Amino acid sequence: MGIRQKITPFLWFDHEAEEAASFYTSLFPDSKILSVSRHPEGSPGKPGSVMVVEFLLAGQRFVGLNGGPHFKFTEAFSLVIDCDSQAEVDAFWEKLTAGGGQESQCGWLKDRYGLSWQVVPSAAIDLFRDPDPARSKRVWGALMQMRKIDVAALQRAAEGR
């Protein structure tokens, strides 16, 4: 019996859904590939090639489809990783940008498959929400200069240093 959830992210890949699912499940605890469906004879894909991969990432179910080159990921959709420490931010950032990933601004990146991620330390969220408008403004100003989020630099900005 499969894992049921009301809403499941469905990711369209050209031909690398299984490879991407294997990569993603290697990054997070409580992650695994649940099933791989292959193209049968008479389907649009090559018989026996991977059509759909169902997988868990940190307990959340996802589906990856090898749908061909018709559609690409955009920054309009991203996955957010809530990190407990700067070390965790650094580790995810390094792994997700490796092998052709691209850094962007403010904690955003694209992995080698073109999927956008936000790697965000929970401490940064607290600093963004500072009730002192001057502190919050300094934090947001510092963030706008960053690629990977640096909590210590945000803390210095909050303090006006």
Report pLDDT for 3.
63
pTM for the complete prediction? 0.91
Report pLDDT for 75.
93
For the CA atoms of 105, 9, 89, 22, the dihedral, rounded to the nearest 10 degrees, stands at -120
Report pLDDT for 81.
97
Set out the domains of the chain in order of their start, with CATH numbers. 1-71 (3.10.180.10), 73-161 (3.10.180.10)
Report pLDDT for 43.
86
Longest pairwise C-alpha distance within the chain? 65
- The average pLDDT across 80-97 equals 97
Strand order in the sheet with 102-103: 78-83, 116-121, 108-110, 102-103
Q: Is the pLDDT of residue 80 over 80?
A: yes
Band of residue 1 on the pLDDT scale cut at 50, 70, 90 = very low
Q: Is the pLDDT of residue 86 over 70?
A: yes
For 85, phi and psi rounded to 5 degrees? -155, 165
